[in-house]
Structure 1
């Protein structure tokens, strides 16, 4: 047996009412998210639900292994708040080792610089990039057309780049502002520098990689016509073509449901339709 709840089935807050925003806030995630000097930011969305479901699935598999080994079953209990808190281990470790709180730093990294999301040429266009080593820093300087920056004492080592991060962000930002995010991504990826365009939904549906992998699916609906939609994020070797269906029309399957499944004869189904009990 498995139980999943907001705060767990024991403890003084076991009867608390829970919803994504307040559970995330309790679990500590928003405190670490946001710009330096700014307010805490909740990530939004329903990702905690999927996270808890994943933890529960793996817990069941672990328990089945235990049952096969010992012949005994178990009761599994998962609290959403604790599951979310388990995703911020660095903050716990930092406080345990140094007594210091981890502060909000936006898109920056505690050690790497440059490490940020920069505005690019175009309307609300952005690119994310990270420099992990001196070698990547030299490559970035080369791509930017300023190889001399790699010899500047202010940026020569990871520690000095982090110390002078504001100036570094300004230099990289000025370069990014004159180019499209796709061009920046291509040039940096060619030099093995982690970089990627910040994609919106329109970008994703038109992305050649997503299309090539079959994630973008072309659906044909009898009322709205052809539309590109997001498919399943998994593939099966034994099922190369997943059976996608468009959303049904109102009452489209009533004959099947009320006739074939529920066993009503055609006259009864027609009577239900005529009385507008069903469509």
Structure 2
């Protein structure tokens, strides 16, 4: 299902689709832009003419943005590299968080490109209580990721820390699989279970 448009396009026109990185085939500009700090980026995805106008205004409506080469979405797609350079110049002296907040406040889809270590500090994920801290017998108090969706009245977990190696062997082998104590001893001797 994900490749259906590309297959139809190939059958109709013979066009072989190649990788497009962070870009879209139908809208521009779209990409991840460098920001102040070490390896900090902000993703920006302009999909509509209104978002393009809002991006221009947010950046102070620079002269380059009014160039005829960027007038329509088709023009912007054809000159995407140049637009990327201009946007990158605008973002590079701001933090990724500043860029995102500024653009979002003006209706431009954007988001900080986060490392996994950044996710624990993300205010939206904290607000959604995505992480639960639990005491693990070997690792101490650590965060566990919950589910991205919620069902009202249902605890979607996680409900307990990760088990230790072999912690549930007896339950699984005896209660679920019906093995006897002798069967388990034989399996341990044979090296089948730890």
Change (3 A) 1:93 1:124: same
Shift of 1:140: 1.0
Secondary structure in 1 matching 2:47: coil
Aligned to 1:194: 109
Q: Distance in 1 between matches of 2:157 and 2:48?
A: 42
Aligned to 1:79: none
Q: Distance in 1 between matches of 2:18 and 2:114?
A: 27
Shift of 1:257: 3.0
The C-alpha deviation readout for 1:216-241, integer Å capped at 9, x for no partner, is 11111122211112122332222246
Change (3 A) 1:172 1:257: same
Aligned to 2:171: 257
Aligned to 2:131: 216
Shift of 1:253: 5.0
Measured on the aligned residues, the alpha-carbon RMSD in Å equals 2.9
Match of 1:163 among 78, 83, 97: 78
TM-score by length of 1: 0.57
Shift of 1:120: 1.6
The C-alpha deviation readout for 1:154-176, integer Å capped at 9, x for no partner, is 22222222222221111001111
Aligned to 2:88: 173
User: Which 5+ residue runs of structure 1 have no aligned equivalent?
Assistant: 1-85
Match of 1:119 among 28, 34, 37: 34
Shift of 1:100: 1.9
User: Which 5+ residue runs of structure 2 have no aligned equivalent?
Assistant: none
Higher relative CO (CA 8 A, sep ≥ 6), structure 1 or 2?
2
Secondary structure in 1 matching 2:150: coil
CA contact (8 A) 1:138 1:147 kept: no
TM-score by length of 2: 0.80
Shift of 1:250: 4.8
Change (3 A) 1:229 1:151: same
Aligned to 1:31: none
Shift of 1:95: 1.4
Match of 2:141 among 226, 242, 253: 226
Structure 1 stretches of 4+ with a deviation exceeding 4 A read 250-254, 262-265, 275-279
